[in-house]
């Protein structure tokens, strides 16, 4: 699960966006924020929630205050603190050397009148820099500090500007996720198996969204492989009929005894959104029966890996089906898909406990409604202790009509944009050789 959050911090010097650990106390984060945004040292600052004006306990963390992407925090001075003078200045306002200022203050003290006396008429009533600082300090110690202005202010209601800042923060978050995917180093090739023991949970949708996003963000070849020989429809979802290319069994038969270049291979594959290449299942019943062959998909996946890039395999429902077993054995990473039904979650947990060990696995909770979901995702995560991470993809009406050959991420439904980028950002850092990972 992602343990960081993007927040906007505003001080008297600057306003900046920070990515911070959700479980780090505010007191520990304050020094870094103060260095970039405030003229005061951290010890003289208090963190205020810009949304409701409340002062926050420094022992609380961002998760404890309910911070989310777009939350704005303000740094305000404690009672009695003031902005430091930058440098000593003379009576005309010009900057002077500190040693010279001290000399001037000493000379002035010899002729200064006693406390409470009036200066002679005609003399400018000016006080030296050091004396002014001493007088200010004495005044601050001798009186009770007034409550800060925030104590008399009504909580701010987010107006257009605040909503714009939050929108920008969310956009920045998406940009950070995209940059992580775009710059990840790949170790020649990687196979990602998308699997679920239950049909209808949206494996094909997740496969198509993930593959098209990777194809948009990266220069590596990205192949979406339908590893479901029994009426798989991945190629039909991603490609128009005239650009559907060969099926998986036909491509494997065609490749035998040939010297195939990457460009020649690309010509045999289907062409989908953002340049993703699709490899579908056979369309005839007899061909489907012949394609239910472990050795066929094992050989095909090994051959495709020799061209490098990313292969995202949409596996069939039966985890013991030969093509699915071949994809799981070849997979470097596994994406386990559930939906918002408790019965599906039970099957997913059971299947997840039997998947091959040693391969990192991520959970995707797909088609989760905003209200009324019947699945306890925390319980699902707890039952799968080996999970590398999890992502929740909200429900989108008629999703099968959105992921089509004309799909573009610029016009994708808002609920898909963040979660699919999060999934890709989870997967990408593990592609590099072990010695190259940060």
Provide the 10 A C-beta neighbour count for residue 183: 11
Q: What is the pLDDT along the chain (438 residues), one digit of tens a residue?
A: 457 777 888 888 888 888 888 888 888 898 888 888 888 888 888 888 877 778 888 888 888 888 876 678 889 887 544 444 444 444 444 444 545 544 544 444 444 444 333 333 343 444 455 666 566 566 555 555 556 665 565 655 667 777 766 666 666 888 899 999 999 999 889 999 999 999 999 999 999 999 999 999 999 999 999 999 888 889 999 999 999 999 999 999 999 999 999 999 999 999 999 999 999 998 888 888 888 899 999 999 999 999 999 999 999 888 889 999 999 999 999 999 999 999 999 999 998 888 756 789 999 999 999 877 778 888 999 999 889 999 999 998 877 788 999 999 998 998 999 999 999 999 999 897 654 544
On whether the CB atoms of residues 80 and 15 are closer than 8 A, the answer is no
CATH topology of domain 185-436: Rossmann fold (3.40.50)
The model's pLDDT over 171-197, given as tens digits with 9 standing for 90+, comes to 688 889 999 999 999 988 999 999 999
On whether the CB atoms of residues 16 and 37 are closer than 8 A, the answer is yes
Structure tokens of 131?
């004396």
Q: Is 55 helix (H, G, I), strand (E, B) or coil?
A: strand
Element (H, E) at 77: strand 71-77
- Closest by CA to 75, choosing from 103, 112, 50, is 50
Parallel, antiparallel or unpaired: strands 45-49 and 71-77: antiparallel
Cα gap 53→281, rounded to integer Å:
58
On whether the CB atoms of residues 224 and 276 are closer than 8 A, the answer is yes
Tell me the whole-structure pTM to 2 decimals. Answer: 0.62
Q: What is the CATH number of domain 4-80+145-173?
A: 3.10.20.90
Helical spans, DSSP H, in 239-330: 248-255, 262-268, 285-291, 294-305, 322-330
| Triad 56, 60, 63: Cα angle to 5° | 105
For the chain, domain boundaries: 4-80+145-173, 185-436
- Closest by CA to 86, choosing from 45, 129, 135, is 129
């Amino acid at each position: 699960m992602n343990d960081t959050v993007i927040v906007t911090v505003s001080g008297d010097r600057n306003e900046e966006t920070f990515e911070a650990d959700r479980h780090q106390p505010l007191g520990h984060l304050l020094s870094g924020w103060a260095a970039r945004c405030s003229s005061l040292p951290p010890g003289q600052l208090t963190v205020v929630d810009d949304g409701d004006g409340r002062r926050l306990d420094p022992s609380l963390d961002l998760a404890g205050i309910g911070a989310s992407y777009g939350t704005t925090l303000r740094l305000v001075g404690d009672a009695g603190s003031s902005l430091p003078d930058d440098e000593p200045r003379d009576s005309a306002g010009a900057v002077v050397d500190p040693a010279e200022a001290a000399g001037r203050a000493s000379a002035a003290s010899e002729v200064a009148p006693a406390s409470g006396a009036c200066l002679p008429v005609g003399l400018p009533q000016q006080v030296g820099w050091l004396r002014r600082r001493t007088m200010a300090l004495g005044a601050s110690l001798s009186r009770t500090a007034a409550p800060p202005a925030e104590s008399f202010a009504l909580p701010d209601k987010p107006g257009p500007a605040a909503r714009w800042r939050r929108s920008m923060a969310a956009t920045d978050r998406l940009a950070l996720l995209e940059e992580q995917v775009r710059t990840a180093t790949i170790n020649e090739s990687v196979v990602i198996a998308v699997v679920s023991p239950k049909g209808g949970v949206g494996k094909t949708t997740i496969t198509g969204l993930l593959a098209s996003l990777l194809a948009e963000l990266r220069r590596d070849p990205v192949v979406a492989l339908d590893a479901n020989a029994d009426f798989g429809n991945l190629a039909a979802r991603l490609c128009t009929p005239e650009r559907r290319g060969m099926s998986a069994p036909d491509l494997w038969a065609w490749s035998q005894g040939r010297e195939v270049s990457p460009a020649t291979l690309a010509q045999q594959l289907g062409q989908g959104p953002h340049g993703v290449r699709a490899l579908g299942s056979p369309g005839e019943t007899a061909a489907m029966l012949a394609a239910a062959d472990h050795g066929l998909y094992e050989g095909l996946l090994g051959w495709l890996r020799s061209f490098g890039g990313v292969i995202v395999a949409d596996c069939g429902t039966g985890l013991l089906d030969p093509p699915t077993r071949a994809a799981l054995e070849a997979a470097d990473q596994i994406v386990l898909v559930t939906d918002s039904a408790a019965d599906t979650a039970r099957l997913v947990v059971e299947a997840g406990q039997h998947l091959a060990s040693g391969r990192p696995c991520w959970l995707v909770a797909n088609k989760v409604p905003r209200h009324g979901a019947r699945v306890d995702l925390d319980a699902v995560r707890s039952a799968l202790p080996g999970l590398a991470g999890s992502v929740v993809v909200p429900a989108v009406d008629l999703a099968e009509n959105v992921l089509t050959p004309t799909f573009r991420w610029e016009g994708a439904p808002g609920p898909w944009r963040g979660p699919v980028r999060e999934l890709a950002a989870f997967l990408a850092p593990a592609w590099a050789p072990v010695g190259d990972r940060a």
